[in-house]
Amino acid sequence: MARIELKLAHSYKPRPQSDSDYALLPLDMAFEDGGAYALLGPSGCGKTTMLNIMSGLLVPSEGQVLFDGRDVTRASPQERNIAQVFQFPVIYDTMTVAENLAFPLKNRKVAPERIRQRVGRIAEMLEMSGQLDQRAAGLAADAKQKISLGRGLVREDVAAVLFDEPLTVIDPHLKWQLRRKLKQIHHELKLTLIYVTHDQVEALTFADQVVVMTRGRAVQVGTPGELFERPRHAFVGHFIGSPGMNFLPAQVQGDALVVAGQRLALPRALPAGALRLGVRPEYLHLAAPGQAGALQCTVARVQDLGTHQMLTATLGGEVLKARCAPEQALPGEGQPVWLQVLGEHTCFYQDEELLP
Ligand SMILES: Nc1ncnc2c1ncn2[C@@H]1O[C@H](COP(=O)(O)OP(=O)(O)OP(=O)(O)O)[C@@H](O)[C@H]1O
């Protein structure tokens, strides 16, 4: 295994002129040995580009890739000792499940007894022990993808295992099980795993550290808890959570914070001028009329979602969502409601960046 460092940028264009010409903007980050990472972001943000640069399928247009301090920028995937699992199964249909799992080890001339042990262990982890002698050709798409996952995990000597949206073809019910399984496998095998997905649930259940990306930039690397509590970039607030963080434009005027024409006492030192206040629906609570730190809004909608109620309110042209307890009495549509926007969980953003 290895500590992987990326000090690079990548453009698919020969002469990039502006930021939008880059698939990856200049970045300097490290993936620690033995960590479980997810690269999370919407389609086109640069996840696959970053993964392919790590694996050696792509050479970055600028900068370096280091494995344990060694420059591997131009080394092939084989030379880097990387295992990669793709969206769709890459297996041999004519071989049995066991032969497929053994293949990466046979290639490396691992002793037969060791191969047998390792294949047995991986099959057990993936709950495929009963299928070892079956031909892969007859198996369903998700069983084939499980073999691909197994082939990625079977070698003990890899620098890292890279997964590119590996659960796309998996049935939703099994997907949930496999996500948990991969996390468990990570704890048992202690391999460095890097997992690309655009699905936040997938990223947050699998990874210890999530790299959130947007438009070629890694805007935050953090634990699921850090991304939820202290989004360092407004995009993270918006992208993580369901629904995401509420944002309100605000103005600092002397010792007041002015939001949609309403004045609140400034909660802490903040730079003068325009900023945005961010508060998650989970932390936006109902308040008494005129309560310090609360704003008067209007109820637009109340939805009973079983485990909770979702209150949607408007304030000027802005929309706010508050997650309320299922039994809480809430005012009806069109009624005024006071919402506590200032509190210990409130974040402030200027130019999309979190103010310390
Ligand atoms: N081979 C290529 N040639 C030119 N541009 C490319 C190439 N591959 C990707 N891009 C562009 O680079 C940007 C990042 O793409 P990338 O595939 O890395 O994003 P992604 O986050 O993995 O998206 P997705 O989830 O859709 O795969 C996109 O604008 C994409 O159009």
Q: For residue 17, give every residue at least 6 positions away whose Cβ sits within 8 Å of its Cβ, in sequence order, or none.
A: none
Tokens of 113: 């007894």
From 8, 11, 12, 211, give the residue whose CB has the most ligand 1 atoms within 8 Å, as the site to mutate.
Answer: 12
Number of other CB atoms surrounding residue 206 within 10 Å? 26
Helix (H) or strand (E) run with residue 122 in it: helix 112-125
325 in contact with ligand 1, CB cutoff 6 A: no
44 in contact with ligand 1, CB cutoff 6 A: yes
How far, CA to CA in Å, does 69 sit from each of 3, 7, 10, 135, 240? 8, 11, 20, 42, 33
Q: For residue 236, give every residue at least 6 positions away whose Cβ sits within 8 Å of its Cβ, in sequence order, or none.
A: 212, 219, 220, 227
Q: For residue 201, give every residue at least 6 positions away whose Cβ sits within 8 Å of its Cβ, in sequence order, or none.
A: none
Q: What is the DSSP string of 59-121?
A: --SEEEEEETTEE-TT--HHHHTEEEE-SS----TTSBHHHHHHHHHHHTT--HHHHHHHHHH
45 in contact with ligand 1, CB cutoff 6 A: yes
Residue of 261, 252, 197, 182 whose CA lies nearest to 38: 197
48 in contact with ligand 1, CB cutoff 6 A: yes
- Could you list the pLDDT tens digit for every one of the 356 residues in the chain? 789 999 999 999 999 999 999 999 999 999 999 999 999 999 999 999 999 999 999 999 999 999 999 999 999 988 999 999 999 988 999 999 999 999 999 999 999 999 999 999 999 999 999 999 999 998 998 899 999 999 999 998 899 999 999 998 888 888 888 888 888 888 888 889 999 999 999 999 889 999 999 999 999 999 999 999 999 999 999 999 999 999 999 999 999 999 999 999 999 999 999 999 999 999 999 999 999 999 999 999 999 999 999 999 999 999 999 999 999 999 999 999 999 999 999 999 999 999 99
43 in contact with ligand 1, CB cutoff 6 A: yes
41 in contact with ligand 1, CB cutoff 6 A: yes
Residue 339 · residue 287 · CB < 8 Å = yes
Q: For residue 353, give every residue at least 6 positions away whose Cβ sits within 8 Å of its Cβ, in sequence order, or none.
A: 232, 233, 234
Q: In degrees rounded to 5, what are phi and psi of residue 19?
A: -55, -35
C-beta contacts of 125-128 below 8 A and 24+ residues apart: 125/153, 125/181, 125/184, 125/185, 125/188, 126/150, 126/181, 127/181, 128/97
348: left (phi over 0), alpha (psi -120 to 50) or beta: beta
User: If you measure from the C-alpha of residue 76 to the centroid of ligand 1, how many angstroms do you get, rounded to a whole number?
Assistant: 21
Atom 2, ligand 1: residue with shortest CA distance = 12
User: If you measure from the C-alpha of residue 203 to the centroid of ligand 1, how many angstroms do you get, rounded to a whole number?
Assistant: 19
198 in contact with ligand 1, CB cutoff 6 A: yes
Q: In degrees rounded to 5, what are phi and psi of residue 146?
A: -65, -40
User: If you measure from the C-alpha of residue 183 to the centroid of ligand 1, how many angstroms do you get, rounded to a whole number?
Assistant: 27
104 in contact with ligand 1, CB cutoff 6 A: no
Q: For residue 215, give every residue at least 6 positions away whose Cβ sits within 8 Å of its Cβ, in sequence order, or none.
A: 19, 20, 25, 45, 46
Q: For the complex shown, is ipTM > 0.90?
A: yes
The domains found in the chain, sorted by start residue, are 4-238 (3.40.50.300), 244-354 (2.40.50.140)
What ligand 1 atom has the least distance to the C-alpha of 52?
18
47 in contact with ligand 1, CB cutoff 6 A: yes
User: If you measure from the C-alpha of residue 43 to the centroid of ligand 1, how many angstroms do you get, rounded to a whole number?
Assistant: 8
Tokens of 159: 């620098």
49 in contact with ligand 1, CB cutoff 6 A: yes
User: If you measure from the C-alpha of residue 50 to the centroid of ligand 1, how many angstroms do you get, rounded to a whole number?
Assistant: 10
What ligand 1 atom has the least distance to the C-alpha of 48?
22
- pTM, rounded to two decimals: 0.92
Tokens of 110: 């691992």
276: left (phi over 0), alpha (psi -120 to 50) or beta: beta
Residue 293 · residue 341 · CB < 8 Å = yes
